[in-house]
Amino acid sequence: MPHLMFTKSFTQQEPLPEEAIENAVVLMRTGRLFRYNTDAEAGDAALLEQEFAAYMGKKFCLACSSCGSSLYMALKVAGVQKGDTVLCNAFTLAPVPGALENSGAQPVFVEIEENNYTIDLADLERKAAQYKSRYLLLSHMRGHIADMDAVMDICQRHGIVLIEDCAHTMGAHWNNKKSGSFGAIACFSTQTYKHMNSGEGGLLVTDNEEYLAKAIILSGSYMLYEKHLSRPDKAVFEKIALDVPNYSSRMDNLRASLLRVQLRNLEAQCQRWKDLYHALAAELAHTPNIVLPSRSPKEDFVPSSLQFSIENSTPQNIRQFLKTCEERGVHIKWFGEPKPIGFTSSYKTWKYLGLTQTLPKTDAILAKLCDIRLPLTFTTQDCTLIGQIIHQAAKEILA
């Protein structure tokens, strides 16, 4: 039987909506790209914040230069001081430990579950009691949402402030409640490979007036915070204005102008990602030695990528399987490599944290965990073909 081949790029995104492009051109002709370079009118960044807060059902939103910068500011405004322990699930991407290191926190990583790659609730309970940490930075890594009812119960019993990293869960829900609406603060990404694309960008949401006021000043508002539409009263700022530094982590009006149109289309885009995921998952469901994660009926996920585990295999066989898929046009990332490759790394490679932890359960899961991107330039037919190629390669090498 001839080998199947796939020819599309796994990194090619859809063009931005024409309306977004037109809005950006109009804005560029004014030269007013800096978010505070406006007169009486509201700029795109201020309007985006107002619109995203309404979408999330939150009181406030701040548009930032990246999700990583918003996570750092979230830690700071929540009160994290140098040396404070912050709990975090071990399966995450490098901007998360970067934000933790930048805040001066001492990370305590929590094991993950094999069946769905989410935080191990029993280990979270143990470490919450052991370290008496006041903070949990919960990364909804690759769009996998933990049992948020259980997470909130643990946080409430141990007096923990929850910060949600929703870089991969914009538009997703747990038990009909939006991801990002559980914690005291949540942060979203608008980097190119996320659910809205501005190249780089982050959105921080909260209901807490003091948190938001501090974050606005930290982001670099100078004394221009009144230009924000999504903000508490002026009096909240005046109490803290001289005590909060400027970290220059603002989003500009140009990126905001691109995002406002995409926000209106977000729900339809989310459904398209679900369709792609299910088309690929259907092909992989009966593929030898490939196991898909389980999904709770309470989890309404928005999968811009798909993960699976390779069982009963050696690192050598996994590398050969990945190489074969690559030769046939299917690019798959693997979290089992000892060194970081591209976007993929593990807690063992974040040497700057000075960790002494060992996480045997997480190590065993990452050793067989694979990851494949699902850009919206793909069709469901493309995903069916990708699944067939993976199935064919798995039968040759993994079976």
Q: Specify the residue for token string 């909240």.
A: 236
Which residues of the chain are under the pLDDT cut of 50? none
Residue 375 token pair: 């850009």
Enter the DSSP assignment of 304.
S
Are 200 and 220 spatial neighbours (Cβ–Cβ below 8 Å)? no
Burial 276-310 (b: 16+ CB within 10 A, else e): bbebbbebbeebebbbbbeeeeebbbbbbbbbbbb
In tens, the pLDDT along 331-358 reads 999 999 888 888 888 999 999 999 899 9
pLDDT the model gives residue 1 = 63
pLDDT the model gives residue 225 = 93
Between CA 200 and CA 192 the distance in angstroms is: 7
Question: Domains along the chain?
Answer: 18-264 (3.40.640.10), 266-397 (3.90.1150.10)
* Percent of the chain surpassing pLDDT 90: 95
Enter the DSSP assignment of 27.
H
Between CA 396 and CA 399 the distance in angstroms is: 7
Mean of all residue pLDDT scores within the chain:
96
State the pTM of this model.
0.96
In tens, the pLDDT along 289-317 reads 999 999 999 999 999 999 999 999 999 99
pLDDT the model gives residue 39 = 81
H-helix or E-strand containing 391?
Answer: helix 380-397
Residue 201 Cα distances to 72, 107, 204, 208, angstroms: 14, 24, 10, 22
In tens, the pLDDT along 11-47 reads 999 999 999 999 999 999 999 999 999 887 899 999 9
Contacts of 115 (CB under 8 A, 6+ apart): 293, 294
